[in-house]
Amino acid sequence: MTTQRASEQRTGWILGLNHGIHDAAAVLLRDGELAVMIEQERLSRRKGAFNEAPVDALRYCLDYAGLTLDQVDGVALASDLDRFAQWLGLDGEERRRQLIYDDPDRLFPVEVFGSGQRPSPVPVRHHLAHAASAFWLSGFDEAAVLVVDKRGEDSSAMLAHGVGTEFRVLESIGVAESLGLYYQTATQYAGLYDESSGGYGKLMGLAAYGRPDQPAALCVSSGAPAFEALPSLADLPGREVAMTRASQLLDYFTDRCFPYTVGLRDEVLAYANFAASVQRSLEDVLLALAGRLHTLTGSRRLVVAGGVGLNCSANGAVARSGLFDDVFVQPVAHDAGAALGAALELSRRLRPGSRPGSPMTHAYWGPSFDQGMIDATLERHGVGFELLDESTLIERVADLLARGSVVGWFQGRAEVGPRALGARSLLGDPRTRRTLVRLNRIKGREMWRPVAPSVLHERFSRYFVDAPPNPFMIVSAWVRDEVRALVPAIVHVDGSARPQAVTAEANPRFWRLIAAFERRTGVPLVVNTSFNLQGEPIVNTPDEAVRDFLQAGIDALAIGDALALKR
């Protein structure tokens, strides 16, 4: 049953929810266009929002638009739990008891939304939701579609072809061959797994320190992923497949991969060659899948979504392969982004023949705060500050950065997705490695982990090669040999970086700041990492930004039009 209204009663508003185990999120569309999006973790302050319903996120979206639940045309869910239950072999009471994530009491609690009539949500297949989030917002009329994650309802990857207003699913890959599960298990073996954040970025960063000389289990068979020397799981009940495969992989790594033991957290660099081998194998398989998609579709454009789509190094390998002329990776590639895709898909169904969404050129779809609230927050914390016009603020912050200060940058609407893109960022001077050391200490991160650059779009090719300019910091590129000594803070040990190309149209204030830094230093980029401390999500409110500023070694805070300096 859908919540579609009679045509004369439609409001044009559509909600999308990711309601599963992790990465809960809510999205609101108006006439097929994105209006607001927020992840539950930004409000609950529990990273990953494990086992949280997207209640706070849903409430925020409704409040943003001044709506009540009964004023939306439909609510889309980013997975089909009935389909998942069928794969698990659950029915009736067992389905309701074990898969509680779409329970109306959980999604729409009376104490938050009142006792009025609740909507009847429309489930959208998980991988279809991911695909919709990428294709409808890519700006491409036609494209090959690659979705890869740990799992959907009954598969771990989907190859599809998007044309106009329709998708055609070409192939699906089973859970037994899950690339997301493979990478998660490898992260666990290296002792880097964290339930709240995954830790997958740590394994990707560690890979640059090693050589791919270890057996890695993963290989390519007939253009699809396969696991060598591991028993088939073809006859296993669905509910046991993922757990059994993870156990097999962990045994394989322990038996064949140095240092032959799980999770030596105090000796993490011992896993560098293992990490490099896992990363290389993942990239080989993703290149094979991309090649198969190119063959099946004949397309010169590719869109990517799913949790594995956050692997910047693998995205860089695909972009450099020459298989496609254009590659769009959804910046909210993980499960939070499936809420966006589910809403887009429901909008398409309710508006037959229409194509939802516009090209996604930026990720600033979260909350913003007025200057009055910002000023009151600073005063409540006893922080002295100056109110400055934009030009003066930018010049002052550029001076601070050029002198080596670390600056908290809290401006405009928040980014969606896991990357800070110049709205909720910690910024620094790329010309010295001391910036990398300071930022990693501020955030409680390992010293071997890299930080990323934000560069003026117009100067991208002067510093980076073998990748197109990307606005979402989600595709790796090589730093040109001749400039590596100029910007050592952003150059990873293998010579790569994860650059964000900043345009004046997408984020004018941030663009002007980088341009002001260039006028002082000759360098058209700054170090940019997410504004958060260890174990917490990216800051969402002025209060959180000010508290982190006071607690950590951040030298200055540029928050709205206010500039605060440490005494």
Residues marked as catalytic: 22
Residue labelled with tokens 């560690």:
206
Whether 281 and 219 have beta carbons less than 8 Å apart is answered as yes
Tokens of 473: 């910091």
Q: In three state form, how does the secondary structure of 195-212 look?
A: CCCECHHHHHHHHCCCCC
Alpha-carbon span 14 to 32, nearest angstrom:
8
Q: For the chain, how far is it from start to end, CA to CA, in angstroms?
A: 60
What are the CA-CA distances from residue 68 to residues 31, 465, 565, 567 (Å)? 17, 49, 42, 46
d(CA 120, CA 104): 8
Question: CA triplet 273, 276, 280: central angle to 5 degrees?
Answer: 140
Q: Are 451 and 557 in contact (CB under 8 A)?
A: no
Beta bridge partners of 140: none
Q: Ramachandran region of residue 370, left (φ > 0), alpha (ψ -120 to 50) or beta?
A: beta
503, 509, 511, 512 alpha-carbon torsion, rounded to 10°: 140
Residue type, 450: P
Burial label, 237 (beta-carbon count in 10 A; 0-12, 13-18, 19+): exposed
How far is the C-alpha of 277 from the C-alpha of 409, rounded, in Å? 37
Rounded to whole angstroms, the Cα distance separating 283 from 179 reads 10
Structure tokens at 232: 């088939």
CA distance 185 to 230: 14
Name the burial class of residue 381, with classes exposed (0-12), middle (13-18) and buried (19+) by CB atoms within 10 angstroms of its CB: middle
Q: In angstroms, rounded to a whole number, what is the distance separating the alpha carbons of residues 548 and 375?
A: 16
Token pair for 202: 């740590």
Q: What is the DSSP letter of 332?
A: T
